[in-house]
Amino acid sequence: MKLLTKALLAEFKKQGYCDGKDPKEVKIIAKFFNPSGIGTWYATEYDPKERMFFGFVSLFNDFCDELGYFSLDELESIKCPPFGLGIERDLHFGTHYLVEVLEGERP
């Protein structure tokens, strides 16, 4: 599966950088997930030069979940056991905002 499309790039560019914005106004542009287990990445920003996302990362759905940077190249290189599946993008994610995941929801 292609994790980043031209349409998503346009959405990231439209939103721009979110530093200082209210989380209620920050749209989650893409949700990536491990199809065979734990791990979810909610992307709100993307830097095409560095190929880096910024967003909310939930690896264990616990107190270690946090905002941070994550790499497109690393997401594309992950092969999830036991079947070696790659990270996928939620094609039916809909419209959600950063405040939702910060408050504990996991859409």
pLDDT exceeds cutoff 90 at 82 = no
**What is the pLDDT averaged over residues 93-103?**
96
- Give how far Cα 83 sits from Cα of 2, 60, 86, Å: 19, 20, 9
Mean pLDDT of the chain: 95
Q: Is the peptide bond before 35 cis (omega within 30 degrees of 0)?
A: no
pLDDT at 35: 93
pLDDT at 33: 96
The ranges assigned to domains in the chain are: 6-102
Pairwise CA distance, residues 17 & 4, whole Å? 18
Region of 62 on the Ramachandran plot (φ > 0 left; ψ -120 to 50 alpha; else beta): beta
Q: What letter would DSSP give residue 37? A: S
Q: What is the pLDDT of residues 10-47, one digit of tens each?
A: 999 999 999 999 999 999 999 999 998 889 999 999 99
